[in-house]
């Protein structure tokens, strides 16, 4: 398994429960800065649950609890007194189903900056323009910033959601199957975008699509039934996995 001296995120002995049902089992993992880490595995293996640990989105589900710790920049994000607002500002998220708010394109991208107190119009416009450019959607929407975002195509909606996440200047970007509902062309655009974004952001992406994992990621973690089975360089995982379960999965023998 890979190990980094300078990891952005460190997960130690993490167990997670939905009520009495355990969803994650004793996970230890380090995630490298400004790289793309893919989480793969069959449905229900806990990869999305694991992803949602990093911005504490599991907190909003009643009856969940965990043991162990998750450290970002060497600070335990589950310790008492942690500012969840600041955490979620630092750790952005893009959801599986693109979820633009039923507002204008501009208001979508400006939502984050606004709640964090940016009021000045020119400043706001600057942030919106920059994040839409970073998400490679500016050229398509620059003339329709006032239109309702629900009128955009699926691929545009998802890139708008990425722009919305970038607008609060996160350091880490969590992506939960960001392209699973998109056509191949839109998917390719998102993948290109991920390649550009990793220069500035630490990206963790959950994906069902093995080719996608091998194309976009530097490291890949294979999950099965709530356990981290194998974690290594993506090349290594896909060319020469050490564990049989991993090999069976990536060669399509199950899952």
Partner 1 sequence: MKKSISENSVFWAVRFITYSIVAIIGYIIFDIVIKGLPTINLEFITGFPRSSGSEGGILPAIVGTVYLVFGAILVSLPLGMASAIYLSEYAKQGRFTRMIRLAIVTLAGVPSIVFGLFGLGLFVIFLGFGASIISGSFTLAFMILPTIIVSSEEALQAVPKSNREGSLALGATEWQTIYKNVLPYALPGMFTGSILGVGRAAGETAPILLTVAAFFLPRLPSSIFDQVMALPYHLYILATQHPEAEKVLPLQYGTALVLLILVLIFNLAAIFLRSYFRKKYKW
| Region 145-174 residues binding partner 1, contact defined as CB under 8 A | 148, 150, 161, 164-165, 168
The CB-of-127 to partner 1 minimum distance in angstroms stands at 13
Question: Which neighbouring-strand residues pair with 15?
Answer: 67
Q: How far is the CB of 88 from partner 1 (least distance, A)?
A: 4
- Report the DSSP beta bridge partners of residue 29: 11
Closest CA to 228 of 8, 13, 5, 3: 13
Residue 141 touches partner 1, criterion: CB under 8 A = no
| Contact flag: residue 19 with partner 1 (CB under 8 A) | no
Measured distance CA(9)–CA(51) in Å, rounded:
12
Toward partner 1, which CB reaches closer, 6 or 146? 146
- Buried b or exposed e, range 149-170, using 16+ CB within 10 angstroms: beebeebbbbbbbbbbbbbbbb
For partner 1 (CB under 8 A), the number of binding residues is: 26
239 binds partner 1 (CB under 8 A): no
Q: Which residues are paired to 205 by β-bridges?
A: 38, 175
Residue 34 as a binder of partner 1 (CB under 8 A): the answer is no
Q: Where are the alpha helices (DSSP H) in the chain?
A: 47-51, 84-90, 105-115, 121-134, 138-141, 154-166, 184-197, 210-216, 234-239, 244-250
Q: Give the footprint of partner 1 on residues 92-131 (CB under 8 A).
A: 92-93, 95, 97, 99, 101-102, 111-112, 115-116
Cβ at position 146, least distance to partner 1 in Å: 13
Q: Is 18 in the site for partner 1 (CB under 8 A)?
A: no
User: According to the binding rule CB under 8 A, does residue 57 interact with partner 1?
Assistant: yes
**Cα(26)–Cα(76) distance, integer angstroms:** 17
The nearest distance, CB 148 to partner 1, in angstroms, is: 6
Residues near partner 1 (CB under 8 A) are 55, 57, 60, 62, 85-89, 92-93, 95, 97, 99, 101-102, 111-112, 115-116, 148, 150, 161, 164-165, 168
């Amino acid at each position: 398994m890979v190990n980094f001296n300078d990891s952005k995120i460190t997960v130690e002995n993490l167990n997670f429960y939905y009520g009495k049902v355990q969803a994650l089992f004793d996970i230890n993992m380090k995630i490298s800065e400004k790289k793309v880490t893919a989480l793969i595995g069959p449905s229900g293996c806990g990869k999305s649950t694991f992803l949602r640990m990093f911005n504490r989105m599991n907190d909003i589900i009643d009856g969940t609890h965990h043991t162990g710790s998750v450290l970002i920049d060497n600070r335990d994000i589950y310790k008492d007194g942690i500012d969840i607002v600041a955490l979620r500002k630092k750790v952005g998220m893009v959801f599986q189903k693109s979820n633009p708010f039923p507002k204008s394109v501009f208001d979508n991208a400006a939502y984050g900056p606004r709640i964090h107190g940016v009021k000045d119009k020119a400043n706001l416009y600057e942030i919106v323009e920059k994040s839409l450019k970073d998400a490679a959607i500016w050229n398509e929407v620059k003339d329709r910033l006032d239109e309702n975002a629900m009128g955009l195509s699926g691929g545009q909606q998802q890139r708008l959601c990425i722009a919305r996440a970038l607008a609060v200047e996160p350091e880490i970007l969590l992506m939960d199957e960001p392209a699973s509902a998109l056509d191949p062309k839109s998917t390719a655009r998102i993948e290109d975008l991920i390649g550009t974004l990793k220069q500035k952001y630490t990206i963790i992406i959950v994906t069902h699509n093995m080719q996608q994992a091998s194309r976009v990621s530097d490291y890949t973690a294979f999950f099965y039934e709530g356990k981290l089975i194998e974690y290594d360089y993506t090349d290594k995982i896909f060319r020469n996995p050490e564990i049989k379960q991993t090999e069976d999965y990536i060669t399509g023998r199950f899952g």
